[in-house]
Chains A and B, each alone.
Chain A
Amino acid sequence: MDYEWNVAINKAIVNNAPKVEKILRENPYINDLAADLREKKLDVLNNIDKYIKQTEESVLRSGGGFHLARDSNDAIDIVRKIIGDKKNIVLSKSNVLYEIKLRETLASEGRDIWETDLGEYLVQINNDMPSHLIAPAIHLTKEKVGKILNENLDKSIDENSKTEDMVHSVREFLMKKYLAADVGITGANAVSADSGSVILVENEGNIRMDTVLPGIHIAITGIDKIVPTLKDAFNEAIVQAANAGFYPPTYINVSSGPSSTGDIELKKVTPATGPREFHLILVDNGRSDAIKSDLMESLLCIRCGRCYFSCPAYRLYGKDFGTSPYTGPTGIMWSAIIFKEYDKSEMCMHSGGCGEVCPMKIPIPKIIEKIKFRYTG
């Protein structure tokens, strides 16, 4: 095993796993929310066409644009049509953006496009790929980060710099990008069908910037992120954050259409201070087929990333266990759904910890067994 990875993963496990256990023990209502959320998400998957239609109607009602993308190319074409020749783009951390290869495609067209989550920014300037769903730079030690920043951003930062100074340096750089951005592109933790709202959980504050400062906000996510109601969407945010070890989350953002005001005679006028345009792009990319298959429960995943730290294969192989950004136990399922890649499932030892800790009670070991069957059957 790579020494640097061994150090990084062990630190991450020690820092995260007991914290999540304590959060859930001290806040038992979160497991109740998770159980309820599972039922709601199952209902959506079982009636996906109805919920997509309802989401579309809700987004249009709120003054936003709604788009359904069959696959990655379709999604990127929709983005191109929305943004036209606008060049300055900021991104929030999103696995779906990686999935459709948005950043590399738009960058190759000469656009100035930046990840604004600190971990994703580090991955971007290191020409790397994320190693964890919610902690993309988990494979980088502090010393390595210092070296990367020195080479790519700020000569005053090096391996011996304080973490606070590293964060400050990135903040200074990104602040200029937020202010110059024409377009902010985010993912979504949940999308509520009844209100057409996008919910985003974060701690850094970058998503607030991405969704408010640019004139156009585009949220791109999978159809699996739809939940029936805004209440369910908030519940998903809480369950996701707690199982990721961030409770309470620093920020939960809600975007329901473009910015608006009713301050003059209570007449709703849009735009106000924030974006003048809001667009939701729901991506299929194999998800509809998966809903009809024996992989269906995979789509219940809320991307908390807890399963990674209970998995011996992830400890050993890191981001090679899966197809980035979909790594770890949940990534084996998502690599199968999105990329039709089954081979990495053979690295799974069926240790079973992933299924134990999954807040959505996805039977991950049994699903991986079925993916193994696809590989060798």
Chain B
Amino acid sequence: MSSIIAEGLKSVASYKSALIGAAIILMLVGISIYTVAAIPYDEAVRLWRAGEQTWIEAPRNAYPTWYSYILQKRLPETIIKDSSKPELGVNKVIVPAGETIKVLRIEMSFAFDYDDIPSEINIFYTVRYNKSAPQITMTWIKPDGTEIELRKFNPGSDGAYYLSVDASLASREVERLVNKFGQRPSYELTPTVSLFAVEDRSILERDTVTVMKGVYRLSVEGLLLDPQSDFDLKLVVYGKVYGWAGTDHLRRDIGIALLWGTPIALTFGLIASVSIALIQMAIGAVSAWFGGVVDNFIQRVTEVFIVLPFLPTLIMVSTLYKIDIWTILLVVIILLSFGPGVKNYRAVFLQLKESQYIEAAKAFGAGAPRIILLHLVPRVIPTMIPAIVYSVADFVFLEAALAILGIGDPRTPTWGKVIEDSFYGGALFKGLYYWTLQPAFLLLITSLSFALVGLTLDKIFNPRLREV
């Protein structure tokens, strides 16, 4: 048997398409090993289920970084400046101005050299005081010197200032532009746009508004009214690209799901196809060998399972028990163990049963288990391999399909999960194609590579096919 396999491997090499397929499979296995080693499963699940807090500094629905090359323009990346972490361009000074009162001054500056306006701006602040909260004034200074007062307030506790959705700032900005150009902007101007746009008439139209490049500054002045009082802030200017895979509607890095989807898809596909084929073969062998009542019973059970609709039954079971992906795998195996494959294997075994070497084994007094395991099964395994390899693709897609129906494992990040999210996040309506296409592409190359290898193996192991 080993010689058959060695022979097979040699002929696989002579098919170019199978080589490509095998190379892709190897690459996916490599990615899986890397992923499992680099991001532990629990960590991946935690990151994927973490919600806004973990991902608050990542942009929402950001493109993958390589989009910049395709669009031939530099899309903004996320810029973060933190006053509690001094660095170049971040200055924080506290000067005493009386017995208890101190004056706080924070200056942040960053160069903005991108070709597009950022997606969002948030300021997160922490504050410390005994009795009276500090008075804070924040001013935005554009590269051309335009000063815009953002907000004047007394922060009572730690919090966030969601600058992009500040309605009062938005209306003050519109007023400022009306005073400057004598005309209202023809669209709904958001603070993000007005803080980053070139200050001329182009800002009045949505289609002409352009980004102003240069050094931006955020200047914060504050009165600290207690001796122990302190104030720090973190400015986050969200970009339009993030990582190599972009982010979804919950700001999560899609890359995590794409990476973790690989080992899950491969394991799910391989375990399902191998174990189902082996079980079906075993059942077929028993059915063919014993015949009579056993055969009859197995055939009837198989027919019952063929009548049962597979997907709806699976949906029922998984909705009822809210099961995780490995239990789903088990249910899939149980439901398909008595599938139509049993009938095919039975037919093959019925033919083999009559062959002379089996008769010889019987004459030597070999028992049923011995003949089935040592003489029948090894003869059939080479012919099964192509079908096993080919059907891996089916199960990879089954997992994705369950996720798209919303009944997959909700905890585990998988490719199908990302596609489902992208559907409900309206990716296809909003033009966020990367969101759907990246996991789809991975699904495509995975199943295609297994199919290529499977079809080639089929030609090799079934000589009748090789002739034609």
Bound together: no
